[in-house]
Homo-oligomer: A and B are copies of this chain.
Amino acid sequence: MSRVAQDVVSEVDLPAGEERSDGRSRRWDTHRAARRDDLTHAARRAVHHGGPELSMDEIATAIGTSKSIVYRYFNDRSGLQTAVGEAVMQDMGAALSEVSHRAHGPHEVVRAMVGVYLGMISSSPSVYAFVTRGGEAAGTAGPLSTLADDAAALLVPVLGDVLEERGGNRDGARMWAAGVIGFVRGAAEVWLAERIELEAAAADRATDDGADAADLDELADTLADWICAGTPASTPSRPTASRSTSPTS
């Protein structure tokens, strides 16, 4: 109970009486926020190195504290996940706003978003997995993956504009944005899996990160193109689609 609409821990919201007269209480207020932040970032690092399946105990140990502390600051494992997700999201938001204010039109905004999202997922796949994994209970309700939702939110205004210009109402924008993020997610996961296979196969030259950055840019271009250019309404040359008519196998 009481874990409903708060991600700051219960102690923080107990000022039912609006003033906190006692200095002994007040003295911790800033400390708590700071500590929570520290823990969040430390957890992020721990997961980055230790993988998304670290137990709470292991995370706590890696952070250099004990489980009781972690549970004091986060209601839940999924609370931790959410917090880390928010931290990641904050970085993404910053990176995006830095890039996208010089973007003209939806295509470039989408391209920026894709780039940022890909950068995040590829620079720290473990954190990505930790943040998107499971979380809330049912798949039928609740804040699905906060990260994806938040990322989508960044696209909503732009896509809303597009919808409006096309004569529709902006209401669909949220779904459209979720779709776009889903697209990136789906494609990126395949790409990640492929890259890991490749790396496992040819584990010769250790750090080919330079090539990776270029790869990433190229991939982002491709995805953005796919998202924005879409699929042609029908194959122009052969009307009945090359698939069913062609005598291949």
A positions within 8 Å CB-CB of B: 51-53, 101, 103-110, 125-126, 128-130, 132-134, 137-142, 144, 148, 152, 157-159, 161-162, 164-165, 172, 174-176, 178-187, 189-193, 196, 222-223, 226-237, 239-244
**Interface pair B175/A190, CB less than 8 Å apart:** yes
Residue in contact with A52 in the complex, picked from B103, B138, B181, CB distance below 8 Å: B138
Q: A99 to B202, alpha carbons, bound, how many Å?
A: 43
Residue in contact with A230 in the complex, picked from B129, B227, B241, CB distance below 8 Å: B227
**Distance between A38 CB and nearest chain B CB, rounded to angstroms:** 25
Q: A167 to B235, alpha carbons, bound, how many Å?
A: 13
**Interface pair B152/A186, CB less than 8 Å apart:** yes
**Distance between A231 CB and nearest chain B CB, rounded to angstroms:** 4
Residues in B with CB closer than 8 Å to A130 are 139
Among residues of B, the one whose C-beta sits closest to the C-beta of A165 is B235
Residues in B with CB closer than 8 Å to A157 are 243
**Interface pair A239/B179, CB less than 8 Å apart:** no
List 24 A-B residue pairs with CB atoms under 8 Å apart, sorted by A's residue number.
A51-B140, A101-B244, A103-B241, A104-B239, A106-B233, A106-B235, A125-B140, A126-B139, A129-B139, A130-B139, A142-B193, A152-B186, A164-B242, A178-B186, A178-B190, A179-B184, A180-B183, A181-B186, A182-B186, A182-B189, A227-B231, A228-B230, A228-B232, A230-B230
**Interface pair B144/A140, CB less than 8 Å apart:** no
Residues in B with CB closer than 8 Å to A53 are 137-138
**Distance between A47 CB and nearest chain B CB, rounded to angstroms:** 11
**Interface pair B184/A107, CB less than 8 Å apart:** no
Q: A228 to B183, alpha carbons, bound, how many Å?
A: 13
Q: Which 3 A-B pairs have the closest CB atoms?
A: A182-B186, A129-B139, A230-B230
Q: A83 to B29, alpha carbons, bound, how many Å?
A: 51
**Interface pair A175/B191, CB less than 8 Å apart:** yes
**Distance between A182 CB and nearest chain B CB, rounded to angstroms:** 2
**Interface pair B139/A222, CB less than 8 Å apart:** no
**Interface pair B174/A235, CB less than 8 Å apart:** no
